[in-house]
Amino acid sequence: MAAVLIQGEGIAASCCARLLIEAGLPFTVAPRPRPKLPAVMLSETTQKLLRDVFDRDDLFNGLLQIRKRVVMWGEVPRLTTLPHSAVVVSESELLTRIHQQLEYREDPNRAEPEWTVFASAPLPPPSTETHFGLRPAAASPVKLKRESDCETCWIESLESGWLFLLPTGTETGWLLSVGGPVDALVGMSRLIKEHVDGLGPSQGTFASHPRIASPLSEPGWLACGTAALAFDPLCGDGAGNAVREAILGAAMLRASVNGFDLDSLIAHYHSRLIAGFERHVALCLQFYQSGGSGGWWADQAESCRRGLAWCSEQLSEKPPFRYRLNGFALEPAS
């Protein structure tokens, strides 16, 4: 039976481990410690995926609920209030919750792995990462004003960037700033600064533009989670995509053990992940085309168009999807 090595310790690695346990495939885990996200917002769809993977109806009990999203977006911004349904949790707390019943059944013989799941960088050569855009971002702790609703999140576009304010408690939250320096963006704000009573130092800058590895898999290894695809936080579904990639990756390993054609499995994995990345970049383009008319916004929209062109070229060289998921297992599409 194939032995699998999972490199990483985040959401994708944990989901892959859980699914391999259910499939009865022996594996070992090689954690790669990294700083954890201070706050993650999980949509209802992502919550359902995680409940299904870990078979835990109580997984999100007691977490802060986000019920409204207030948006001020565009060159002539208009204040819009929309219903929302999500929970907020730190990445460390989320991993603690999903690990509570995750009993690793490692290969007792510690066999040389036939497959390695790279859920954390770096990837083996010849894989390289292709970037679309350059958007530095920073996360800063904030104190919310007492009158601010802790069940509401706020997002605002500005001349050279955007802000996203996410409560983590009745008077605490995190401010994500993308584009210019956080102090400059907050200084230009008309919406979000009205809810911030104190701004702490940022926790450093990080890249927030879409990125994709290529190739995503070869015989003996596959990339999963942020090691495979990195998403713009504007669309807010990075965690959900990490779960989906883990589901597909674990299903691919299971199918390879069951005798499915390896080349077609790898081709299917590539096509599915690139198609998902294409949908994400298309959504990003909608946001960045509508966020403003200045040079910064035009540059971001152009980077999205380059991303779409790259995806279209890659997919034109791939065969049609040959498999589909039935639960957590792959089966022939026809």
pTM over 0.85: yes
Sign of CA dihedral 85, 91, 97, 101: positive
For domain 4-38+90-128+210-332, the question of CATH label 3.50.50.60 is answered with yes
Q: 297 is written with which tokens?
A: 């916004």
pLDDT (tens digit, 9 = 90+) per residue, 280-297?
999 999 999 999 999 999
Residues 6+ apart with CB under 8 A from 220: 114, 115, 116
pLDDT (tens digit, 9 = 90+) per residue, 233-283?
998 889 999 999 999 999 999 999 999 999 999 999 999 999 999 999 999
Burial class of residue 66, CB neighbours in 10 A (0-12, 13-18, 19+): buried
pLDDT (tens digit, 9 = 90+) per residue, 49-80?
999 999 999 999 999 999 999 999 998 878 99
CATH number of the 67-89+136-208 domain? 3.30.9.100
pLDDT (tens digit, 9 = 90+) per residue, 183-200?
999 999 999 999 999 999
* Predicted confidence (pLDDT) at residue 108 exceeds the cutoff of 60: no
What 3 state SS string does the chain have? CCCEEEECCCHHHHHHHHHHHHHCCCEEEECCCCCCCCCEEEEHHHHHHHHHHHCCCCCCCCCEEEEEEEEEECCCCEEEEEEEEEEEECHHHHHHHHHCCCCCCECCCCCCCCEEEECCCCCCCCCEEEECCCCEEEEEEEEECCCCCCCEEEEEEECCEEEEEEECCCCEEEEEEEECCHHHHHHHCCCHHHHEEEECCCCCEEECCCEEEECCEECCEEECHHHCEECCHHHCCHHHHHHHHHHHHHHHHHHHHCCCCHHHHHHHHHHHHHHHHHHHHHHHHHHHHHHCCCHHHHHHHHHHHHHHHHHHHHHHCCCCCCEEEECCEEEECC
Read off the pLDDT band of 1 (50, 70, 90): low
Burial class of residue 179, CB neighbours in 10 A (0-12, 13-18, 19+): buried
Say what the pLDDT of residue 93 is.
97
Read off the pLDDT band of 82 (50, 70, 90): very high
Sign of CA dihedral 202, 205, 206, 208: positive
Say what the pLDDT of residue 111 is.
63
* Predicted confidence (pLDDT) at residue 102 exceeds the cutoff of 90: no
Q: Residue 5 pairs with which residues in a beta bridge? A: 28, 116
User: Cα separation of 281 and 128, whole Å?
Assistant: 19
Q: 124 is written with which tokens?
A: 């083996």
Say what the pLDDT of residue 174 is.
97
Say what the pLDDT of residue 43 is.
96
- Is residue 52 within 8 A of residue 46, CB to CB? The reply is no
User: Cα separation of 251 and 327, whole Å?
Assistant: 9
Other Cβ atoms closer than 10 A to 233: 19
Closest CA to 296 of 130, 157, 156, 202: 157
What does pLDDT average to over the chain? Answer: 94
Mean pLDDT of all residues in 122-136 = 95
Domain locations in the chain as residue ranges = 4-38+90-128+210-332, 67-89+136-208
Say what the pLDDT of residue 105 is.
52
Say what the pLDDT of residue 109 is.
56
* Predicted confidence (pLDDT) at residue 324 exceeds the cutoff of 90: yes
For 92, phi and psi rounded to 5 degrees? -60, -45
